[in-house]
Chains A and B, each alone.
Chain A
């Protein structure tokens, strides 16, 4: 199997950004009752990760490391992630009014920023640019996979037939834990 295929399997199934790293879990709490909105938010997240990741990669390798100020990496990542999230917000604003209404109703801006920061922190800046960007895109693919798997249960989380305190987040985390084990097992098959 080629190096890229192995990287993709690892990033999507075994080291999934949602079930393994736990970074994107906050994104499941925002309003995702509309399928089109889910697709739009995921697309803007991918765009933000690829563009933002490229900028951070260039800054780290060509500015921070030569100037020996690598400790500023966290600040740069947060700053670029905020810019990317804001650009995504503008894009949604001028693309679809319905999607923008849902975007503003929930705290998608914060959730997207947190996901971008998380993925960029995981990013290994010593890799080559092509492999790095490919890996980051695969992390996004893993995020979308879990989002799609959990899309059907968004509405049911508050109405499950179990103890009231166990509804919503505890139930969601148990589900993610099980999905994580299954994805990891699938990844091991390859």
Chain B
């Protein structure tokens, strides 16, 4: 079977935010979704990583989905005890958090070839952090541009109605994905450049060592020419 091409993780994060585009209207909503999804994603994948390499991708996805559903059910029950109006409002549809969790899980589960045992946990932490930053920025932008407020403080202008609708939300997500992708590509390019430099220096050092050992062979025990 043809080898699968890894999808860009930034794109996957953007698609994950799309799934909760209707539920995020303020920075508070965004932060709650970011934390809930990030936590469930990390816990779920840590558990599923135990059966890496020994089971089919679909089996791991099934297990990950069930763990995510259980964790979100528990979180929904626990968040029900909070009486803060912002939390109550933001967690009204918190069960939809299962969708971004499942979308984010596709990358480590279906493209596990790109994940080595050494960097597995670091990579999923990076993915969770990128998700949190992406969602928080999205929430802030929608609140400012769509509603003319930030953290429920009025900013002196009325928001644009277009950005209160999901179509405007998708427009913002696309723009954020574009910006994040530019940053990612710059980082990848620099890293590649650095790796190429390291490799070229390694070759130069190896050549120098070889020259040194040859010249050592040409000398006798007392340091004179043979």
Q: Is B65 in contact with chain A by the CB < 8 A criterion?
A: yes
- Mark B152-188 against chain A: 1 for CB-CB distance below 8 A, else 0: 0000000000000011111101110110011001000
| B-side interface size class | 35 or more
Q: Which residues of B contact A169 (CB under 8 A)?
A: 8, 11, 14-15, 174, 177
Give complex CA distance A116, B106 in Å.
16
A166 at the interface (CB under 8 A from B): yes
Q: Which of B58, B70, B95, B168 contacts A73 (CB 8 A)?
A: B95
A149 close to B (CB within 8 Å): no
**B-side contacts of A176, CB under 8 Å:** 170
Residue of A nearest to B63 (CB): A82
B145 CB contacts on chain A under 8 angstroms? none
CB distance from A140 to the nearest CB of B (A): 17
Q: Is A181 an interface residue (CB 8 A)?
A: yes
What CA separation (Å) do A157 and B103 show in the bound complex? 20
Contact yes or no, B61 A72, CB < 8 A? no
**A105:B4 contact, CB within 8 angstroms:** yes
Q: Is B30 on the interface with A (CB-CB < 8 A)?
A: no
Give min CB distance, A20 to chain B, whole Å: 5
Give the number of residues in A that approach B within 8 Å (Cβ atoms).
46
Chain A residues positioned under 8 Å from B175 (CB to CB): 170
The interface bits of chain B over 200-225 (1 if a CB of A lies within 8 angstroms of the residue's CB, else 0) are: 00000000000000000000000000
Which residues does chain B contribute within 8 Å of A117, judged by CB atoms?
A: 98-99, 102
From 1 to 45 in chain B, residues with beta carbon under 8 angstroms from any chain A beta carbon are 1-2, 4, 7-8, 11, 14-15, 18-22
Name A's interface SS. helix
Interface status of A137 (Cβ within 8 A of chain B): no
Contact of B19 among A29, A118, A170 (CB under 8 A): A118
Say yes or no: B178 contacts A114, CB within 8 Å. no
**B72 interface contact, C-beta 8 A:** yes
Residues in A with CB closer than 8 Å to B11 are 29, 168-169
In the complex, whether B49 has a CB less than 8 A from a CB of chain A is: no
Tell whether A177 is near chain B: CB-to-CB under 8 Å: yes
Complex formed: what's the CA distance from A121 to B20 in Å? 12
Task: Say yes or no: is A37 at the interface (Cβ < 8 Å to chain B).
Answer: no
Which residues of chain A come closer than 8 Å to B7, judged between CB atoms? 29
B167 interface neighbour in A72, A74, A110, A180, Cβ under 8 Å: A180
Q: Enumerate chain B interface residues (CB-CB to A < 8 A).
A: 1-2, 4, 7-8, 11, 14-15, 18-22, 57-58, 61-62, 65-66, 68-70, 72-73, 76-77, 95-96, 98-99, 102-103, 105-106, 109-110, 166-171, 173-175, 177-178, 181-182, 185
